[in-house]
Structure formats: C-alpha cells, structure tokens
Amino acid sequence: MGIRGMGGSVTYDVTHHLGREIIGGAYPPGAILPNEAEICVQFDVGRSAVREAVKMLAAKGLVDSRPGRGTQVLPSQGWNFFDRDVLMWLREGNTQPDIIVELLQLRIGVEPTAAELAAEKGTDEQIAMIARAYDQMCVAANGRLDPVAADGSFHEAIVIATNNRFFQPFGPLIRTALTVTAPTTNAIFGHSVGDLVAHKATLDAIQSRSPERARTCMLDMLEAVLEAVKDWSNKPDSFTRRRRSFVSKP
C-alpha cells in the first residue's frame, strides 16, 4: 500500500508508521524489522526513503541496523522519550497499566521539586502564566476547552517557571504523560478535568512564594493519583470505591 500524503514527506511517513508499530509492540525488542526490499514493497516507496527512515529511527534509539543482521528493535530503556515523535507514538499506542504507573512515578520524581523551584525562582510573568493555565482548567470544567490540554498547560508552565535548564525539557514529556494517562484516570475518577482544589492549592503556594508548601501540594496530588492507579491496575473494579475518595485527577 502507498502511504504518500500521510505526512510531510515519504521518508517521514515510513518513519512514523514503523515507529508507531515499534512503540505499540508490533515489533518487540529484539525483533528484526522487514528487510529493505520488503518495506519498499509494503509502503510503495524507494530504497532511499527506507534507508533514511531507518536512520531516523536509529537516531531516536529505537533500532540498530547492521549489515548481515538487519534492523533490530532495541530495548525500551534506550528509546528517547524526550523526542517529540517518540512521545507522539507513545500517545497513539495502546497504553499498558505499567506504563501509566511509570509515567506517574516520573512525574512524582520531577514535579514536586519543580513546584518548589517555581515558587522560589519563577518570575512574576511565569507565575501569571501558571495562573492563566489554572483559569483554563476552570473553563474546561464547564466544557468550553479541552480539559487535558488545559491540565497539561498548568503542569508544563510550572516546569518552565523553574528556570532550570535541566528541568525545562521535562515539560513536553509531562504534557504527553497527561495525555497518555488521561483515559485511565478519567475512568477511575469519573471526571475529565484535574482536581481544581488541589491545583488551586499548588498555585496559591507558588504565588505566595512558599516553596515547601508548593512541593507538598504537588506531591500529595500526584501520590493520590498513583495510589488510585495502582489499586485500579491490581483490582480494576476498585475504581468505583476510589471515585468516592477523589473528585478528579491532576
């Protein structure tokens, strides 16, 4: 089948298709991709497009290509999850419960400290951006904006306000993590908008320049969700009980 017209170029279209299949598990780690000729036939493209696509996948840490062995899918530990395409493929794939837990664990490792730094080092303009994102969440609660996008803007704005060059690249990853986990957390809590009370408490702490309180508010919010997701993954029918304890998700 031809894939022309799906993306910005034939090479990108092949890269996107193969990358999405790798992330989605169609080609597990250790698997060998179809050879160059087979991919050419499958997608009705030339060899140069296939070679460039394989190079792009290799640059993202997904595959390793060697003469005589073919193109092998690498373990996920080496995948570049900070890459925009990899994040997109992760979002489009079928999310497993362990991925949701791992993403929440990552957020717990990053975001409480980010909230602390934002309270300490964020500029007035950056903190105003966090406040505007919270306002968007309130609008989304009334169905007039995308709730996941608004929630993502809030958390990403906090990461930006750290003014730490090593924290800031986590912003897009955290936004994508919210997108990936939203279907599950929505099912658990029965609500598509983040916990406005918990988010407002975090915002208030940052606005009042209270670093420790900002850290605690963010940590409490994320740990509550992680606990609920773990319970849900172990006993999926327990989400009904969880919904009585939490009004929504972060």
Of 10-24, 93-107, 128-142, 190-204, least confident by mean pLDDT is: 93-107
Dist. CA 109–CA 159, nearest whole Å: 13
Distance of CA 101 to the CA centre of its chain: 12
Q: Where are the beta strands (DSSP E) in the chain?
A: 63-66, 70-73
CATH number of this structure's domain 10-78: 1.10.10.10
193, pLDDT greater than 80: no
Answer CATH for 95-245 from 1.20.120.530, 3.30.365.10, 3.40.50.2020, 1.10.3720.10 = 1.20.120.530
Report the distance separating Cα 9 and Cα 218, nearest Å.
Answer: 42
Query: At 183, is the pLDDT very low, low, confident or very high (cuts 50, 70, 90)?
Result: confident
Tokens read off for 138: 């309130």
Q: Which of 114, 248, 98 is nearest to 175 (CA)?
A: 114
pLDDT band at 191 (very low <50, low <70, confident <90, very high): low
Contacts of residue 240, defined as CB under 8 A and 6 or more positions apart, other chains included, come to: none
Please determine, for residue 4, whether its predicted confidence score (pLDDT) is greater than 90: no
Write down the domain spans for the chain. Answer: 10-78, 95-245
User: What are 66-120's pLDDT values in tens digits?
Assistant: 988 899 999 999 999 888 888 888 877 655 677 888 889 999 999 999 999 999 9
